[in-house]
Amino acid sequence: MQSPWFGSGRGRHPRARVASRTYHRGGYPTICLPPLRYGRRAPGVRWGCTTLPGGNTYSAAAGLLASAPAMARKGIFFPLKDAALRDDVHDLGELVGLVLKEQGGEALYESVEGDRRAAIGRRQGIAEDAVRLAVRTQGREPREARELIRAFSAFFQIVNLAEKVHRVRRRRQYMNDSSTPQPGGLDECFARLKARGMTLEQVVELLGRLSIEPVFTAHPTESTRRTLLRQQQRIARLLTSRLDPSQTPGERRTTIERVRTELTTGWQTAGSSRDRLSVADEREHVLFFLVEVIYEVIPAFYEEIEAALVNVYGEGAAEQHVPEMLHFGSWVGGDMDGHPDVHAKTIRESCARHQQLIVNRYFLEAQMLAERLSQSGNRVDVSQELVGRIEHYRSVVPDARTTTPASHDRMPYRVFLGQVAERLRATYEGRSGHYERVEQLIDDLEIVVRSLGGHRGEYAGLFHVRRMLRRVRTFRFHLATLDVRQNAEVHREIVGKALGEPGWPGWTPEERRLRLLAALQQDESPVGGLDAAAKRALWVFEAMEFCDHRYGRGAVGSYVVSMAGDVDDVLSVLLLAQWAGYTDATGALAVDVAPLFESVPALENAGTIVARLLADPIYRAHVAARGNRQIVMIGYSDGNKSAGIAASRWLLRNAQAAMVEACDAAGIELVVFHGRGGAISLGGGRTHTLVRSVPPGAIRNRLRVTEQGESINERFGLRPIALRTFEQSVHALALNAAGGYARERLDPRWTEAMQCLADASLRRYRALVHDDPTFLEYFQAVTPVDVIERMQIGSRPVTRVGSGIDALRAIPWMYAWSQSRHMLPGWFGAGAGLVEVVDRYGAALLGEMYAHWPFVETLLDGIEIVLAKTDLHI
């Protein structure tokens, strides 16, 4: 019997593509995208009407919103390939219903069912059900409302898990069907490179140039506790085990019972902390994914690359070594922008914690290898190199002798790996005998690899040693590179006072630039004593230098300057580093300064700023000492909040093109660091769409992107999903680097039309969001922003200094709109731009742009996805 909990959901795919591309709500049109693939306007629908119902007045908008029906759930296509997912969701829905009855009682279950049925009816356009749902949800006691929310959350979480498991299922189906490579996978990537005439050696050389760098950040959009994340992983593993066709009926019943146990335990577990998260809490959240998921899949990722090369190029590819291309970063503990609890101490603590975790992992793996490699010297020889290293370590790590029984003396691999484990223990504890550099550990493991390879050990442990070696080469002794970030305004205030220039904030950027250059060139010291803020700033550089020396190259990364507005904001950081004495062995400043362009003026002038920066001899010499590479970060969220999605994306694209031109002219490698989130409005989306939509040269061999909030769990929450994420990144970056994507050839009419779209969109967006005096009241009334401000899911304050819309940080701004299903940052203003383009240039040109310009395709597809999720009635 079908559970009423899942009711009409059977046969529906949770992320089905909406067939219709235009929506009409209750007598007034909302923003609508034209059916560009057909090049004509849909009958009875106006394109791009972006006015909120009732115009700009809060009372009128609220009145019309109350009567607006939601988009009907009709005309939705559900692919047959997702039938297994439909069945999984049905079965798991029944399971959640049983848990609700048992744990919450029949009354809770019936309340949930009543709300669910009424919501489905409202979704299908039944007016009576819309009224019934409104009546049911009004005036509930807080405790009852909390339990209902918890019940629906439990169901949505299990559905999301089922979808992840279905992705694993689909991936396995492709892997079992050699005739059909998975789109975006490694086999397809290498087949396309081969079709372009690239040899095996050229492909391997290309892979050696690639660098894929996810940077994990802490943002208040992910509130799941680590306890529940681990529970979700256990449920996912249980669900994945159901994919085994050899499972007996009894085993399948046992699996379902274990899933029910996990669901019941989760129901009885607090969903979030009662206290505001600390920086340490956020750090552990990020490290959970790095250590418990990504660490485990690193060797498998490279093994899949090697297997794909063999599939495409033949057995000769088996002899090729694929270089490491994955590197990881973090901002947690180093992001000081607007965060009083992040400072020099948290930088040291984060780097220390990174090292502790990774060294402990190596220690455990070395012990496991010692247990596995039990070869006897009486049965097989080992290299003299290994024997010599064992003898050397008897004096270096004498404690290893006490942990190795005398009976193991004739087991050289076990003895040596025990010594390696002891050195790792000493490294963890910071005592004598420790590894001073990660290269020493790599050398030890390579000795074992060579010995096994030369003495019939290919199938006697070599595979496992190579796996550990992959991990060590990837994570080294720092696990993840910690970036440091601070707001440009903080630097301006500190430097102005330290230079004895009281009118500093009022100086023009050019005046500040000239004064800073003089101070750098003459090695000026601060005037008088430093105040507390200046001392804290210098302590940050001292902490960075300490971590560099203690944990090795790569422990700390770039110094990101948020809200950078001109050249002086970069030079200020250099001067602070010079005062702190943060230099390398050659005496050159050891800091890589990465300006973050995120405001509209900064993005408009990004190319000019970079060109002027690189034209200065002092800064140009600094960049040369740092490898002739300039990292520039671009922010998606603040620009979106200021200008709307269409205008901000066009600004970002133009900024990248201008910076590419400036760096190419100066002979400098540009690395664009994309500060994007999971939501479309934050720049989220598939990796290949990002790579294809940027201007030529903006992404070459290095892909550096932030991973924020819920996107971390979405992309790295399960091991097979993390593998797929890495595969897609390699696919996109390798094809882009090899010229595998069609070369962008822009018709001047396209850029003119896109500028027209951006301008019209910006005017419409700013007229409502920034210029309408009643909009703030509307925003506060229809979103739970006041609740978000009080939630304990992030350590950073959700507002900056000031008041109103401008003071609210971009991430909570997006989060608030998504909670009310307005999704306003992901679409508002774009419709006005589309109308302007169609009226001025015609629909045919817009369709042409969509069909042949990946930037426009990505922009409009993203807006369409957001619209499919938008429900103003909520």
User: pLDDT tens digits, residue range 421-472?
Assistant: 999 999 999 999 999 999 999 999 999 999 999 999 999 999 999 999 999 9
Which single residue is written with the structure tokens 């009022």? 506
- pLDDT category of residue 57 using cuts at 50, 70 and 90: very low
650 in a structural domain: yes
What is the CA 432 to chain-centroid distance, rounded?
Answer: 39
- pLDDT category of residue 53 using cuts at 50, 70 and 90: very low
Which pLDDT score, from 0 to 100, does residue 586 have? 92
Active site (annotated) includes residue 497: no
Residue 829 · residue 647 · CB < 8 Å: yes
Q: What is the CATH number of the domain that holds 568?
A: 3.20.20
Q: Is the pLDDT of residue 833 over 90?
A: yes
597 in a structural domain: yes
Pairing mode of beta strands 481-487, 329-330: parallel
- The domain total for the chain is 1
Residue 701 has what DSSP assignment? S
Of the candidates 708, 814, 722, 737, the residue with the CA atom closest to the CA atom of residue 769: 814
Q: Is the pLDDT of residue 323 over 80?
A: yes
Separation between Cα atoms, residue 813 and residue 805, nearest integer Å: 8
Active site (annotated) includes residue 641: yes
Q: Look over the chain and give the mean of its residue pLDDT values, rounded to a whole number.
A: 88
Catalytic option among 327, 343, 641, 873: 641
Of the candidates 731, 722, 683, the residue with the CA atom closest to the CA atom of residue 705: 683
Separation between Cα atoms, residue 573 and residue 828, nearest integer Å: 37
Which pLDDT score, from 0 to 100, does residue 61 have? 37
Percentage of the chain with pLDDT > 70? 88
Separation between Cα atoms, residue 216 and residue 287, nearest integer Å: 9
578 in a structural domain: yes
Catalytic option among 219, 327, 491, 688: 219
620 in a structural domain: yes
- At 582, list the tokens: 């943060």
Q: State the number of CA atoms in the 13 A half-sphere of 456 facing the CB.
A: 6
863 in a structural domain: no
Q: Is the pLDDT of residue 792 over 90?
A: no
- pLDDT category of residue 68 using cuts at 50, 70 and 90: very low
Q: Is the pLDDT of residue 828 over 50?
A: yes
- The helix/strand/coil state of 808 is strand
Percentage of the chain with pLDDT > 90? 71
Q: Is the pLDDT of residue 63 over 70?
A: no
What is the CA 81 to chain-centroid distance, rounded?
Answer: 28
Which pLDDT score, from 0 to 100, does residue 789 have? 75
149 in a structural domain: no
Separation between Cα atoms, residue 591 and residue 545, nearest integer Å: 9
Which pLDDT score, from 0 to 100, does residue 710 have? 75
Strand-pair partners of 128? none
- The mean pLDDT value for 594-606 works out to 97
Separation between Cα atoms, residue 639 and residue 406, nearest integer Å: 67
Which pLDDT score, from 0 to 100, does residue 128 have? 93
Residue 362 · residue 424 · CB < 8 Å: yes
Residue 460 has what DSSP assignment? I
553 in a structural domain: yes
User: pLDDT tens digits, residue range 734-779?
Assistant: 999 998 787 788 999 999 999 999 999 999 999 999 999 999 999 9
pTM confidence score: 0.88
Which pLDDT score, from 0 to 100, does residue 741 have? 81
- What single string gives the DSSP state of each residue in 753-777? HHHHHHHHHHHHHHHHHTT-TTHHH
**Between these two residues, 68 and 849, which has the higher pLDDT value?**
849
- At 586, list the tokens: 């050659």
Q: Is the pLDDT of residue 296 over 50?
A: yes
What angle, rounded to 10 degrees, do the helices at 567-580 and 532-551 form?
70
Which pLDDT score, from 0 to 100, does residue 796 have? 60
* Long-range contacts of the stretch 581-590 (C-beta < 8 A, 24+): 581/541, 581/545, 582/541, 582/542, 582/544, 582/545, 584/625, 586/625, 588/622, 588/625, 588/626, 589/622, 589/625, 590/544, 590/545, 590/548
- pLDDT category of residue 26 using cuts at 50, 70 and 90: very low
Backbone angles phi, psi at 188, to 5 degrees: -65, -40
End-to-end CA distance of the chain, in Å? 32
Residue 17 has what DSSP assignment? P
Domain hosting 626: range is 481-675
Residue 570 · residue 591 · CB < 8 Å: no
User: pLDDT tens digits, residue range 140-166?
Assistant: 899 999 999 999 999 999 999 999 999
Backbone angles phi, psi at 217, to 5 degrees: -125, 160
Quote helix, strand, coil % in the chain, to nearest 5.
60, 5, 30
Backbone angles phi, psi at 748, to 5 degrees: -55, -30
- At 736, list the tokens: 């882009």
Which pLDDT score, from 0 to 100, does residue 15 have? 32
645 in a structural domain: yes
Of the candidates 485, 506, 632, the residue with the CA atom closest to the CA atom of residue 567: 632
Separation between Cα atoms, residue 176 and residue 186, nearest integer Å: 14
- The mean pLDDT value for 90-94 works out to 90
User: pLDDT tens digits, residue range 345-357?
Assistant: 999 999 999 999 9
Which pLDDT score, from 0 to 100, does residue 218 have? 83
Residue type, 59: S
